[in-house]
Structure 1
């Protein structure tokens, strides 16, 4: 990429960034690091959080590894009142939301009464809480089911609990689109900013590492049966045989750029482009989502310095994504990475964790590696980043696909 091609879109994107939506806070809960900086340091070191399952006895299942978050002590992060009414996924979400708000330096109490809201993505809701209460119903009777079951299992519970705890009374919601949902949540939050909201907490966190959730994961037929955690999830590899499931994700504080500048807020980057498409019969449309996101950002393919791939981990899906990227950027035409190989696929949390990685790449000018895969298959003509790569990048593209045909793409830009 020449200096000229960098300077032109940089000026163009900077104009939109100063009047659009910027990220001022990041909160991360991930299998290889709790907290944004701890996770980012581990990711740059190539440290994996994929390990044998411990949250339940998986010895009788054909897959017994996952991306678990170790060392998360609920009582260290939440008051006892919330512990009885929340699932693990909500506890992780509340922790990430607090970190993001603290990092942003914002005080929602100083905003107009309806000036801040929450939009999150979820794929499973409070699965573990639901399993526990259903077990109580079946084995003991209805009088032993917690009243909190009425909402603790629900997809929107993370949005609700975050808004209550931080008194965010503005327009709020939840989206469900599996792995693509996290980017969709960011787009919904950006829409609220454009309508006049000053601040939105947004992103996605998921966790369904319990027997009930595990049965659903196995039913997809897409989990890798390779027992070695270091080799189980290797997207774009000729030996790829599926993915590994993980828990966690990232939440962000998205703000009006002008308001953020007025209070001298820290800015990680701007959310400059987004698009979503839906596959038709035999017609994958991931490439269309990427093109439309670039158009929304006012950029060309040559302006993108790195792509964070969806990286499904199955041969058919990997080939389709690689061909879509080759059609847009040319074979091996742009650095591509999938740091989710260190965490597993996190459902609604997967694309948001990639978004966090994209923002920190813009900040530190270093691309995190893809692990497990050392060389992409011949039918995946990608410039796959397998060791940390210093770079000069102003714009990053994040791709995500959700089961059922969802495709989403987002562009993050330096400011």
Structure 2
């Protein structure tokens, strides 16, 4: 019998809310966290808007010894993990250290830390570069620091597949639990809103250059012209369902299905892989398309990519066959953190029976989607599908469902 894997804790750090409750209150009501960049002066760059996390002061949450060795993304990840563990009612000190693991995703690593050390190298010399540069910039640093801080010596890893990585990490965590590990910390936090990170994101050619926060990120809209970047994400506590039930844990929902594919070479004439990823995830969950109550879209806001996603959804569910939402229009695309945040939103939607809105978007009729816009929609949500795509051809899909 296949082991059921459930989510028992959520730690959220989002541009429109710190903590799962604040995030959900903002998301269900359509409150946006997108605005002009404040972490540096963006005037000289073509893109000036981002989803920044307001009010996060690492010194309020972490010991001073950790601050010199961590990038902003790692500090946020450590605090989000603390929140997730507390939400799950888990005290790592009371568990076997080899029965807990960490699998996160990263799209950029500690860019801001790396930028600071490179500035020291260029302006002062190598002797001024911190020894912590050897790992603070690295993609795997969040998994490592979470493991060390919480005494977790079980399986650890990091997945690097851009926006799709957050779902891929959760899927890898599910595999580890099915192999016998009791608890895995998973999800992702990304934060690279600094000049060095900004130049890297601009190089991808997908950032919106609009200076109007309500018109900058418009997936499935005729005026779509790129996305707004953001920082943050979500950390999930994942457990064996039976173990969670025995300890009386609150269960948000089950990670029921997963599928991933890779797009064919451009110009090959072959079909993009997103539809197949959806079909694999549904088959893995053992559910028919008619059982899905909501789809949380990848929402690239690039017309060709929006068309591909709409066609994939319509091919599986039929035109206007399932409610579709993109709450990331309130936060920006958080790179590897985006999909775990959508997973958190999907689980909270299941808990309340409400599909959050896609803000600021006027749906283009060419997509023929049942897009939830402007206002949230009350609905019984028992099963939800979360989609994510990474730059270069990654496609991932995860099915989450309610647990009775």
Q: Identify whether the pair has TM-score above 0.5, normalized to the shorter chain.
A: yes
CA distance in 1, matches of 2:311, 2:260: 18
Quick check: 1:153 aligned with 2:137? yes
Residue from 79, 88, 103 that aligns with 2:87:
103
* Residue number in structure 2 paired with 1:84: 68
Quick check: 1:396 aligned with 2:380? no
Aligned to 1:254, what secondary structure does the other structure show? strand
Residue from 293, 298, 301 that aligns with 1:310:
298
Residue from 308, 320, 341 that aligns with 1:320:
308
* Residue number in structure 1 paired with 2:42: 58
Quick check: 1:130 aligned with 2:114? yes
Aligned to 2:216, what secondary structure does the other structure show? coil
CA distance in 2, matches of 1:149, 1:345: 27
* Residue number in structure 1 paired with 2:371: 384
Q: TM-score, normalised by structure 1?
A: 0.95
RMSD, matched Cα: 0.9
CA distance in 2, matches of 1:65, 1:108: 39
CA distance in 2, matches of 1:161, 1:79: 13
Quick check: 1:287 aligned with 2:275? yes
Deviation of 1:298 after TM superposition, in Å, equals 0.3
* Residue number in structure 2 paired with 1:168: 152
Quick check: 1:70 aligned with 2:57? no
* Residue number in structure 2 paired with 1:206: 190
Aligned to 2:346, what secondary structure does the other structure show? helix
Aligned to 1:114, what secondary structure does the other structure show? helix
Deviation of 1:110 after TM superposition, in Å, equals 2.5
**CA deviation profile, 1:166-193 (whole Å, cap 9, x unmatched):** 1111010000000000000000100110
CA distance in 2, matches of 1:77, 1:50: 24
Unaligned runs of 5+ in 1: 1-14
Deviation of 1:77 after TM superposition, in Å, equals 1.3
* Residue number in structure 2 paired with 1:278: 262
**CA deviation profile, 1:218-254 (whole Å, cap 9, x unmatched):** 1111111111011100100011000000000000000
CA distance in 2, matches of 1:124, 1:218: 13
Quick check: 1:182 aligned with 2:166? yes
Quick check: 1:347 aligned with 2:335? yes
Deviation of 1:106 after TM superposition, in Å, equals 1.3
Deviates more, 1:278-287 or 1:393-402: 278-287
CA distance in 2, matches of 1:75, 1:193: 33
CA distance in 1, matches of 2:42, 2:372: 33
CA distance in 2, matches of 1:104, 1:113: 17
CA distance in 1, matches of 2:104, 2:338: 13
Q: TM-score, normalised by structure 2?
A: 0.97
Deviates more, 1:274-283 or 1:235-244: 274-283
Unaligned runs of 5+ in 2: none
Deviation of 1:45 after TM superposition, in Å, equals 1.3
**CA deviation profile, 1:322-377 (whole Å, cap 9, x unmatched):** 01111110011000000000000000000000000000011000000000103x11
Deviation of 1:392 after TM superposition, in Å, equals 1.1
Deviation of 1:111 after TM superposition, in Å, equals 2.3
